[in-house]
Structure 1
Amino acid sequence: MASQPGRRALVIDTPPTSNGDLHVGHLAGPFLAADVHARYLRARGRSVVFSTGTDDSQTYVLASARRAGRTPEELCGRSWHAIRRTLADMGISLDGFAPYDDRYRAAVLDFVNALHAKGKFRLRTVRLPYSERTGEFLVEGLVCGYCPICLVRSRGGLCESCGHPNNFDELLEPQSTMDTDDPVTVREAQILVLPMEEYRDRLTEFFLAREARLRPHTVQLVREVLSRPLPDFPITYPLGWGIPAPFPETPGQVLNAWVEGIPAVMYCTAFAAERLGEHHPADDELWRAERDAEVIYFIGFDNVYFWGFTHVALLMAHEGRYVLPDAIISNEFYELENEKFSTSLGHVVYSADLLAELPRDLIRFYLALSAPEHQQTNFGRDALTKVTGQRLVDPWNRLAGLLGKAVAEAGLDGATLPVSAGARRRARAMLDRFRACYELSGYSLNRAAILIVDQLDRLLRTAERLDRSTMDVERLADLFFEVRALLTGASPILIDLAEASGPAGADRRFDLDASTASTVTPFALPLLDRTVVR
């Protein structure tokens, strides 16, 4: 399934849980990947709406607030502002960061009420973990145990390790995440569910059509999930935190936070479109089937089941009203110094703290180079300094110095120089390789970052061979032309370097026609700093 240039792209960065600020593990996953792709699409002339918000209804918010001695409402408010600030400071080019407000809740209720009216939900009696000490049901972030599929420690609802769901009472040796000494029993409750097995054939067809764009671990999970009966998806839970369920069958219950996902991102899309100057009659307008938008998800592997199965089934249940996602780009976990990020244990590096020390281009480059695309990778503070210094800052600044000196010695400042056919071919080849990294069929931040390093090394070697005694103007012109192509290709990642290069530098439209351009004007290459300049 290839991208269609005429279609509008709805780039979805799945809303983060509002239980604290973002750390570099969050950014190295879906956030940077979504931003780079959105920037690339805009540079190709595509119409893009890139949006997200926060996921306030998650039980993880409730658990984190209790541990911090705050109300969940207070934690959500603090987190929303912190997350929005971090994303902006990191250069994540969202068109809109939507608030969790009455309009959000109305969008969710409109979505689920329409399905309820069509009889899409079923009333089921299920067995749920129960806290004898607090007298409340324990689901999702309130309960932990061992995954029944892979036997790894897991929270309720979904296993982060194998990606499989663990519904209702399926966790082995369940414990309260708030109090491990709290006796956990099981009690029955009547809830509404979406019968996922009814969507098996359509889901199978959906994944077969998109398999070429799925990463191998996601393909494996899809095949495993489809090899066994699909469990019912809970629509409501007997909890006290979340949006009150409006259904007469389940009085006093709330909507499962995961049910909010699709109407939430529809609302986020509408909110972002308004920031672009658009106004639509309904918050789901841009997702309507007749709009034929290309929907692209960027998600962590641990969210693939919900976003790839249950959310798609909810869209299908609306009987053709909405488009289905075209691509699901997943990522694995990012470790910190070879251990799992843990906010509760203080093993974390917050993005805001890192941004106070280093220019964001260096952070973006290192996160792209080490992004956990196909397997778990590692963040190291010393490695960040060493890698960015040796592979980006030093060679770039050396190249800038050599070219600046050559232009000054030859008196070519402001001159328009002819470019050879060979340089045009090399520039086109370079841009083609960057496009291969940024297109969804082979999307890879790792390869894009390595391409920056490799091309920078090649151009620096060429600059070092310049004979300034005779000053080959044609070779100098070719160098500047190819540096322009490198800046263009790197611009979705090295956003500040591209901006600082000015109009004569990176053509961030990404449509530089390297085969027909015949001249170039030398320009001053901006230098890269190792630390934040105050």
Structure 2
Amino acid sequence: MDQPKRYLITSALPYANGELHLGHLAGAYLPADIYVRYLRLLGKDVVWVCGSDEHGAAITMRAKKEGISPKEIIDKYHELNKATFKKLGISFDYYHRTSAQLHHETSQDFFLRLHEKGDEFEVRTTKQYYDADFDQFLADRYIKGTCPRCGHEEAYGDQCENCGSDLSPIELIDPVSTLSGKKPELRETQHWYFKLDEHEAWLREWIATGKLDGEQHHNPDNWKKHVIGQCLSWLDNGLQPRSITRDLDWGISVPLEGAEGKVLYVWFDAPIGYISSTKQWALENGTDWEQYWRDEDTALIHFIGKDNIVFHCIIFPALLRAYGGYVLPQNVPANQFLNFEGQKFSKSKGWGIEQHAYLDEFADFPNKEDALRYALLRNLPENRDSDFKWDEYVDYHDKELADKLGNFLNRVIVLTNKYFDGQVPEVQPGVSDAIQGAIELTDKLTAEIEAFSFKQAGLYLIELASYGNTYLQDVSPWKIWKTEPDSPLIKECIYVSLQIATLISALCEPFIPFTSPRVRKQLNLPPLENGDLTEVLRKLKAGESLLPANHRVGEPEVLFPKIHDRKDTSRLEIINRQKEKLEAILAAERGPEREPMKPEIQFDDFVKLDLRTGTITAAEKVPKADKLLKLSVDLASEQRTVVSGIAEHYKAEEIVGKQVVLVANLAPRKLRGILSQGMILMAENADGKLVFVSPEDGFGNGWTVR
């Protein structure tokens, strides 16, 4: 397959119904940004589109919760998320929104084209869940229940977010309406179904072999295994016609007579948002959108999370092919999920941190954007779920960005200013052994980016800085300077180190774009422009100088002030505040501290206890004893009298008939003149509240508790 003439990159459209957290950033946006920045540096024709997904049940659910209109919701979160992406260096070419008129027109055109073809849709009258309390049919996201595949109790009517299974509402076990909390009823309604099943054969061949109409379309070996696996598993279960309309009052209206009150299913219109976003970008830039969607020399690549694989690899490609004339994706490098300190992100629990909240809370943190980007890069869930931890954030920042990358660049600039008055020394041209090592690492780095392995590519960037540090340390020009200040070894060492530093200034831009111009400023170079990396790589392999002799560098600068710094604890204090917040959340979940465990006993000690089930048949207060109740306990074979210190917690008449567990072989003891023949087992919380330890109702009396 030839190299494409152009690239169209998409990232999953985020719902405009709430703030985006760090897991979102690691899933579909940071990886795409790294890839797009790399392509631009190579001078490729690339367009990256995204935008807010502003239809569907999630929007109306949030609007109902906040008591405002859906439009107020989408306006609020569209602007917030768009601005936050920009602050973090996520460099979309266009960030559109699906509420725009152009998107409505594009989606309706898609529907009408498929409708007019006559063989892609069928109209069905089916039964759909209806909430009588709210007088409306329920979209998939308005229904929750137990997943029939994995047993997760919080599955939605369209998908289980625990196992990723695609579902229909009627498959859910014990479904309930998210509006009323009641079990919904089934009522008849009419909808348009896309005949997805008729696309099964070519989809299977295209996904499994990469072939389309007998020609090689893409290399399936370059697709992630979990993407191929999930798609083939879905196909193995057999494709079914899929409803593409809904009964809702928010969304894109179905443009047909007799379809009043119907809107397009959000998963029909949302991917079309990539097309409308490209159209809007083209309009504003005076170019033709169709070359990016209809020319076979375009590589279409979708960056998504694993929960969207089926929609981007099966449903959307089928819609594009049914319409006709559209390119299909060359790759869908879906990431898995990022957890936060060992748990899933949870807004309700306050577990995690949103992107905009990070920027606010780390406002005084130098290079906070790249510090976060790099920590997420090191934890990208490319092939399995991963975990973001604040302690690792600190380690990645201090040990890799500060100690390796920042330290090498700083040393090189300092030594150049000290020994050569800030000028690049003259040396014999050619590729030295030291430069050859840098070339090999660069080749590995670029190969990993092109294979969508961004975490490993980032590690090679740090390895290149470590390589430079090791080379500098091995030569130790400061030692040679003491006896031979004119030694050619010093010149060669500083020259080579400056070439590696210049190379790093270009290679780091896709990963830490806020740092790259700062590095280049120290080297007295302008910020990178599109196509510059191609020339850097050409010069590197040809043995030409990346930074020519007599070029004057700038002044050194600390790029990443360390978090663990004895002189300045401000950055560590920010991290510690974050960790304290999480500990407070965990403490609230755990509740008050429990009593410490008693000393260890042996099994033989335990089996000496005779624990029996019983029922309290009578109870009365012990005279002149505020805390004591006299109980009669039925053990089936006998009646026991027990004096128990529970009068402050229970009234005598409340506990008659209560089933209990009794220590039956405790030596009898007189309390207030009453012989107590055992002890009732109770549990006590931090407030001193006592509750009975009881068997299940109707268990029977006198049975052994083991």
TM above 0.5, yes or no, is: yes
Which residue pairs with 2:100 in the alignment? 101
Which has the larger displacement, 89-98 or 452-461? 452-461
Distance in 1 (alpha carbons) for counterparts of 2:229 and 2:162: 13
Matched, 1:497 2:512: no
| Counterpart selection for 1:81 from 72, 79, 84 | 79
Deviation per CA, 1:60-97, whole angstroms, max 9, x where unpaired?
11112222222211010001100110110010111111
Distance in 2 (alpha carbons) for counterparts of 1:176 and 1:168: 11
Question: Within 5 Å, which residues of 2 pair with 1:292-307?
Answer: 292-307=297-312
Distance in 2 (alpha carbons) for counterparts of 1:436 and 1:507: 21
**Cα offset for 1:409?**
2.6
**Cα offset for 1:523?**
3.5
Letter matched to residue 63 of structure 2: A
Distance in 1 (alpha carbons) for counterparts of 2:418 and 2:468: 19
Letter matched to residue 112 of structure 2: N
Distance in 2 (alpha carbons) for counterparts of 1:403 and 1:218: 44
Letter matched to residue 352 of structure 2: V
Which has the larger displacement, 231-240 or 204-213? 204-213
Deviation per CA, 1:463-484, whole angstroms, max 9, x where unpaired?
2332313252112211221222
Matched, 1:518 2:544: yes
Q: Is the 8 A contact 2:406 2:560 kept in 1?
A: no
Letter matched to residue 516 of structure 1: A
Question: SS in structure 1 opposite 2:90?
Answer: coil
Question: SS in structure 1 opposite 2:413?
Answer: helix
Question: SS in structure 1 opposite 2:477?
Answer: coil
**Cα offset for 1:234?**
1.3
Which residue pairs with 1:234 in the alignment? 243
Letter matched to residue 317 of structure 1: A
Question: Within 5 Å, which residues of 2 pair with 1:122-271?
Answer: 122-152=122-152, 153-180=154-181, 182-208=182-208, 209=210, 210=218, 211-248=220-257, 250-271=259-280
Question: SS in structure 1 opposite 2:199?
Answer: helix
Which residue pairs with 2:21 in the alignment? 23
Distance in 2 (alpha carbons) for counterparts of 1:262 and 1:302: 14
**Cα offset for 1:121?**
1.0
Which has the larger displacement, 97-106 or 193-202? 97-106
Q: Is the 8 A contact 1:236 1:250 kept in 2?
A: no
Question: SS in structure 2 opposite 1:434?
Answer: helix
Which residue pairs with 2:494 in the alignment? 476
Deviation per CA, 1:245-300, whole angstroms, max 9, x where unpaired?
1123533211101101332110111222344x2333xxx62444346321110001
Which has the larger displacement, 69-78 or 158-167? 158-167
Distance in 1 (alpha carbons) for counterparts of 2:311 and 2:396: 36
Q: Structure 1 residues 216, 460: closer, same or farther in 2, change over 3 A?
A: same
Which residue pairs with 2:447 in the alignment? 436
Q: Is the 8 A contact 1:20 1:82 kept in 2?
A: no
Distance in 2 (alpha carbons) for counterparts of 1:178 and 1:143: 9
Which residue pairs with 1:399 in the alignment? 408
| Counterpart selection for 2:388 from 379, 383, 386 | 379
Q: Structure 1 residues 377, 84: closer, same or farther in 2, change over 3 A?
A: same
Q: Structure 1 residues 294, 6: closer, same or farther in 2, change over 3 A?
A: closer
**Cα offset for 1:6?**
4.5
Distance in 1 (alpha carbons) for counterparts of 2:280 and 2:436: 43
Question: SS in structure 1 opposite 2:405?
Answer: helix
Letter matched to residue 541 of structure 2: S
Letter matched to residue 350 of structure 1: E
Q: Is the 8 A contact 1:197 1:229 kept in 2?
A: yes
Q: Structure 1 residues 311, 149: closer, same or farther in 2, change over 3 A?
A: same
Which residue pairs with 1:467 in the alignment? 477
Which residue pairs with 2:438 in the alignment? 427
Question: SS in structure 2 opposite 1:98?
Answer: strand
Which residue pairs with 2:323 in the alignment? 318
Larger radius of gyration: 2
Letter matched to residue 112 of structure 1: F
Letter matched to residue 102 of structure 1: Q
Which residue pairs with 1:529 in the alignment? 560
- What percentage of residue pairs aligned between the two structures are identical? 24
Which residue pairs with 1:14 in the alignment? 12
Question: SS in structure 1 opposite 2:171?
Answer: coil
Distance in 1 (alpha carbons) for counterparts of 2:449 and 2:293: 27
Q: Is the 8 A contact 1:261 1:311 kept in 2?
A: no
Which has the larger displacement, 114-123 or 374-383? 374-383
Which has the larger displacement, 302-311 or 459-468? 459-468
Letter matched to residue 162 of structure 1: C
Q: Structure 1 residues 125, 229: closer, same or farther in 2, change over 3 A?
A: farther
Distance in 2 (alpha carbons) for counterparts of 1:169 and 1:293: 40
Letter matched to residue 125 of structure 1: T
Question: Relative contact order (C-alpha < 8 Å, sep 6+): which is higher?
Answer: 1
Question: SS in structure 2 opposite 1:305?
Answer: helix
Distance in 2 (alpha carbons) for counterparts of 1:41 and 1:125: 49
Which residue pairs with 1:116 in the alignment? 115
Which residue pairs with 2:42 in the alignment? 44
**Cα offset for 1:190?**
1.6
Which residue pairs with 2:356 in the alignment? 352
Question: SS in structure 1 opposite 2:64?
Answer: helix
**Cα offset for 1:194?**
0.5
Q: Is the 8 A contact 1:18 1:61 kept in 2?
A: yes
Distance in 2 (alpha carbons) for counterparts of 1:523 and 1:164: 56
**Cα offset for 1:199?**
0.2
**Cα offset for 1:515?**
1.9
Distance in 2 (alpha carbons) for counterparts of 1:26 and 1:302: 12
Question: SS in structure 1 opposite 2:333?
Answer: strand
Q: Is the 8 A contact 2:131 2:180 kept in 1?
A: no
Q: Structure 1 residues 50, 383: closer, same or farther in 2, change over 3 A?
A: same
Q: Is the 8 A contact 2:141 2:157 kept in 1?
A: yes
Letter matched to residue 206 of structure 2: F
Letter matched to residue 505 of structure 2: L
Deviation per CA, 1:91-130, whole angstroms, max 9, x where unpaired?
0111111133112211111111111111221112333222
Q: Is the 8 A contact 2:156 2:169 kept in 1?
A: no
Distance in 1 (alpha carbons) for counterparts of 2:292 and 2:508: 31
Distance in 2 (alpha carbons) for counterparts of 1:298 and 1:363: 20
Question: SS in structure 2 opposite 1:464?
Answer: helix
Letter matched to residue 61 of structure 2: A
Q: Is the 8 A contact 1:130 1:186 kept in 2?
A: yes
Question: SS in structure 2 opposite 1:122?
Answer: strand
Letter matched to residue 467 of structure 1: P
Q: Is the 8 A contact 2:409 2:501 kept in 1?
A: no
Which residue pairs with 2:590 in the alignment? none
Q: Is the 8 A contact 2:340 2:387 kept in 1?
A: yes
Distance in 1 (alpha carbons) for counterparts of 2:492 and 2:339: 47
Which has the larger displacement, 496-505 or 374-383? 496-505
Deviation per CA, 1:4-33, whole angstroms, max 9, x where unpaired?
544110110121100022211111111001
Letter matched to residue 231 of structure 2: V
Letter matched to residue 316 of structure 2: H
Question: SS in structure 1 opposite 2:332?
Answer: strand
**Cα offset for 1:369?**
0.7
Which residue pairs with 1:340 in the alignment? 344
Distance in 1 (alpha carbons) for counterparts of 2:279 and 2:301: 16
RMSD: 2.3
Letter matched to residue 468 of structure 1: W
Letter matched to residue 227 of structure 1: D
Q: Is the 8 A contact 2:434 2:471 kept in 1?
A: no
Deviation per CA, 1:372-423, whole angstroms, max 9, x where unpaired?
1111111223431232122212333322332233212312413353364223
Q: Structure 1 residues 150, 7: closer, same or farther in 2, change over 3 A?
A: farther
